[in-house]
Amino acid sequence: EADIYQTPRYLVIGTGKKITLECSQTMGHDKMYWYQQDPGMELHLIHYSYGVNSTEKGDLSSESTVSRIRTEHFPLTLESARPSHTSQYLCASSEPGPPAGNTIYFGEGSWLTVV
């Protein structure tokens, strides 16, 4: 079982509110990722990190920001939520390489609804 945790699992907030989605992993992985996904659809990479103090934007433009102050923690923040941000957000981390094989582990996801 993967040791990667996301909170909250479900969140309904009003437009204009600031929110932070938390993600923590206890596997000591350097690489971590945030994906945005509509139900059952393709994954869109919005942020990733190679390690502490490293953050990069992904393929999909996002108004969110991330930080990586500790290896185990990779929170995602929306300063001002809008209805267009309604989606599922998936956090993931990956193993460093051979022999582990770079396996990617996912959290259970955070469902955000902005009303």
Partner 1 sequence: GNSVTQMEGPVTLSEEAFLTINCTYTATGYPSLFWYVQYPGEGLQLLLKATKADDKGSNKGFEATYRKETTSFHLEKGSVQVSDSAVYFCALASGGSYIPTFGRGTSLIVHP
Least Cβ distance, residue 6 to partner 1 (angstroms) = 8
Using the contact rule CB under 8 A, the part of the chain among 12-20, 65-73, 79-87, 103-111 near partner 1 is 103-111
Hey, which residues between 68 and 97 contact partner 1 (CB under 8 A)?
Answer: 90, 92, 94, 96-97
Q: Among 8, 15, 18, 41, which residue interacts with partner 1 (rule: CB under 8 A)? A: 41
Q: Is residue 27 a contact point for partner 1 (CB under 8 A)?
A: no
Contact 19/77 with Cβ under 8 angstroms? yes
Q: Is 2 exposed, middle or buried (0-12, 13-18, 19+ CB in 10 A)?
A: middle
Q: Is residue 101 a contact point for partner 1 (CB under 8 A)?
A: yes
From first CA to last CA, the distance across the chain in angstroms is 34
Q: Is residue 53 a contact point for partner 1 (CB under 8 A)?
A: no
> Rounded to whole angstroms, how far apart are CA atoms 87 and 111?
6
> Rounded to whole angstroms, how far apart are CA atoms 96 and 104?
10
Residue 7, phi then psi, degrees to nearest 5: -140, 145
Binding-site ranges for partner 1 (CB under 8 A):
2, 6, 33, 39-43, 45, 48, 50, 58, 90, 92, 94, 96-99, 101-109, 111
